[in-house]
Amino acid sequence: MLRPLGAILLSIAMLAAVQASSLKGSRPNIIFILTDDQGYGDVSIHGNPVLKTPNLDRLHTESIRFTDFHVSPTCAPTRSALLTGRHEFKNGVTHTILERERLTLQAATLAQVLKSAGYATGIFGKWHLGDEMAYQPNQRGFDEVFIHGGGGIGQTYPGSCGDAPGNTYFDPVMLHNGRFEKTSGFCTDVLFARATSWIDSTRKKGPFFAYVACNAPHSPYTARPQDAALYEGLVDAKDLAHFFGMIHNIDQNLGNLLSQLSALGIARNTLVVFMSDNGGTAGVRLFNAGMRGSKGTAFLGGTRAISFWHWPERLQPADCPALTAHIDVFPTMAELAGARLDRNVRQQVEGRSLLPLLSNPLSATWTDRVLFTHLGRWPKYADPDQSKFAMCSIRRGRWHLVSAKGGATPKWQLFDVQTDVAELRNVAASNLGIVADLAVAYDHWWLDIKPSLINEQVAGPDINPFQSLYYRQFGGGPSADDFRRMAPIRRQP
């Protein structure tokens, strides 16, 4: 006798709930790998016609793949949302420099929550949420800290955001638990080696959270010569050969890490998440998975990210088409860890736990939601309202409302991304009700985030904190007279 459809659906829902419950509090080791400026199309299994990423392809095949997963258009904002579970503007992060990359000290981080649940916590690579001492990861829940400064190795800007002087991708100086160390080798190799060593040293003490935040393949596009050589002659520009070479190197390090987890006997109890931090950059001119836009835009090509979740024998590989986002990472990992969130942290989190989808990626209940994107990056000390509609968007289901060239007033375009992933056909005129609904939601959201924009009027320090710390350890640097001469310039609005 055939069962009624309603009974079948109810059985599926109940099974998904049971499976999600089995994941809650399961306390796996967590390795979270985040690459910098690698686009959704910069993986061979996503259709890239030139790039070869065999280890990422294998990870894809063995993972739950969130195929409609979105992040912020640039790097510090995405990191802020990942580590707090809420939109970056709620954390005061509206830029990648100019003190506007600093994660509010009032926010609880994922590392703090996991540490409170008994996890060892380590960060390896890019922090980019404040270089002043109070903002550093050792003050935000990380036990082990091995990082560069600012937004990238060798990058330094006036004020609070910058790296150690003279740093390069080869043999970089890294800050390790408060002291600078000169390393040997290419930056990605260095980060994975240090992360793997720490994992080995801490794995027998309890669960761990290893945040491996690669600097690559961010510009300047400087790969190891042997990696760039793989693509020279296959692409028409040197920078693209180096960009792909840097991703090849990431891919090789990923393969080595997965092999090491098996050798250490911890692969079956380790969740490995691989993600990218914003839309593509150098690679989009060759292949962008059919999308419009890139890093720095609110189109799909600026926010759609790689998101592979791999846990042998616990997560069954599948594509998951649900609309998901960076703000969902915090509540998901907290729930996996069995962490108890106090009232303030529960109120902080805007994202949803992905556990139902990890348990049943195709059939789990996942209600409609609205996601807001804004590039930020208005001029320093400017009125944010004048840029309210500059490169922003609202996503709900199949609809994507985008204002790419607005300012104080919008220039809305509406796209049905279910049938038009390239966002070429503006259907606003034939869907005025959808435009109005999403525009009203955006206005409410903007009013809600404005009190949180706490970094807009902050004047930065006279010398970058990373450089100051470097000079204290090694000597040299600007004199006191230099600082006094620079002060009025740096503090000028």
Distance in angstroms (rounded) separating the CA atoms of residues 369 and 359: 20
The residue among 291, 324, 359 that closes a domain is 359
CB-CB neighbours of 436 under 10 Å: 12
389 and 333 within one domain: no
Mean pLDDT of 18-27: 80
Q: Averaged over 358-364, what is the pLDDT? A: 96
Instruction: Judge whether 272 lies within some domain.
Output: yes
Asked if residue 293 and residue 162 are part of one domain, the reply reads yes
pLDDT in the model for residue 276: 98
CATH number at residue 386: 3.30.1120.10
Q: What is the pLDDT of residue 205?
A: 96
Q: Is the pLDDT of residue 17 over 60?
A: no
Q: For all residues of the chain together, what is the average pLDDT?
A: 93
- Residue 13 falls within a domain, yes or no? no
pTM beyond cutoff 0.85: yes
Which of 327, 359, 391 is the C-terminal boundary of a domain?
A: 359
Q: Which pLDDT score is estimated for 19?
A: 56
* Tokens 């016609």, located at residue: 49
What's the pLDDT band for 15 if we cut at 50, 70, 90? very low
Number of domains comprising the chain: 2
In a domain, 7, yes or no: no
Q: Given pLDDT bands bounded at 50, 70 and 90, which one contains residue 476? A: confident
pLDDT for residue 18 is more than 60? no
pLDDT digits (tens, 9 = 90+) for 278-317: 999 999 999 999 999 999 999 999 999 999 999 999 999 9
Domain match, 374 and 354 both: no
Confidence category of residue 2, pLDDT binned at 50, 70, 90: very low
SS (H, E, C) the chain: CCCCHHHHHHHHHHHHHHHHHHHCCCCCEEEEEEECCCCCCCCHHHCCCCCCCHHHHHHHHCCEEEEEEECCCCHHHHHHHHHHCCCHHHHCCCCCCCCCCCCCCCCCCHHHHHHHCCCEEEEEEECCCCCCHHHCHHHCCCCEEEEECCCCCCCECCCCCECCCCCCCECCEEEECCEEEECCCEHHHHHHHHHHHHHHHHCCCCCEEEEEECCCCCCCCCCCHHHHCCCECCECCHHHHHHHHHHHHHHHHHHHHHHHHHHCCCHHHEEEEEEECCCCCHHHHCCCCCCCCCCCCCCHHHHECCEEEECCCCCCCEEEEEEEEHHHHHHHHHHHHCCCCCHHHHHHCCCCCCHHHHHCCCCCCCCCCEEEEECCCCCCCCCHHHHCCCCEEEEECCEEEEECCCCCCCCEEEEECCCCCCCCCCCHHHCHHHHHHHHHHHHHHHHHHHHHCCCCCCCCCCCCHHHHHHHHHHCCCCCHHHHHHHHHHHCCC
- What is the structure's pLDDT at 417? 98
Q: Are residues 85 and 227 in the same domain?
A: yes
Same-domain check for residues 322 and 383? no
Task: Please tell me whether residues 274 and 394 are part of one structural domain.
Answer: no
- When mean pLDDT is compared across 266-270, 461-465, 475-479, the lowest value belongs to 475-479
In a domain? residue 468:
no
Q: Any idea what the CATH number is for the domain that residue 115 is in?
A: 3.40.720.10
Of the chain, the end-to-end C-alpha distance in Å amounts to: 76
Q: Which of 312, 331, 359 is the last residue of a domain?
A: 359
Same domain? 331 vs 381: no
Same domain, 141 and 266: yes
Whether residue 190 is predicted with pLDDT greater than 80 in this model: the reply is yes
What is d(CA 99, CA 283) in angstroms, rounded to the nearest whole number?
29
358-384: b or e for each residue (b if 16 or more CB lie within 10 Å)? bbbbeebebeeeebbbbbbbbebeeeb
And the tokens for 406? 């607005």
The per-residue pLDDT for range 89-139, each reduced to its tens digit, is 999 999 999 999 999 999 999 999 999 999 999 999 999 999 999 999 999
pLDDT band at 482 (very low <50, low <70, confident <90, very high): low
- Domain, as residue range, for 254: 26-359
Same domain, 300 and 416: no
pLDDT band at 14 (very low <50, low <70, confident <90, very high): very low
Q: pLDDT band at residue 10, thresholds of 50, 70 and 90?
A: very low
Percentage of residues in the chain having pLDDT higher than 90: 91
pLDDT of residue 121: 98
- Asked if residue 106 is part of any domain, the answer here is yes
What is the structure's pLDDT at 21? 67
- Asked whether residue 388 is assigned to any structural domain, the reply reads yes
Predicted confidence (pLDDT) at residue 73 exceeds the cutoff of 90: yes
**pLDDT the model gives residue 477:** 76
Task: Compute the half-sphere exposure of residue 389: CA atoms within 13 Å on the CB side of its CA.
Answer: 16
CA–chain centroid gap for 490, Å, is 30
Is residue 1 situated within a structural domain?
no
| In a shared domain, residues 201 and 89 | yes
Pair 307, 401 in one domain: no
Longest dimension (CA), the chain: 89
Residue 261 corresponds to which tokens in the numbers above?
């987890």
Residue 4 lies in a domain: no
Give yes or no for residue 269 having a pLDDT over 80: yes
Amino acid at 300: L
Give the model confidence (pLDDT) of 412-443 as tens digits: 999 999 999 999 999 999 999 999 999 999 99
User: Is 50 exceeded by the pLDDT of residue 152?
Assistant: yes
Residue 304 and residue 214 share a domain: yes
Tokens of 326: 């960076």
The pLDDT of residue 463 is 86
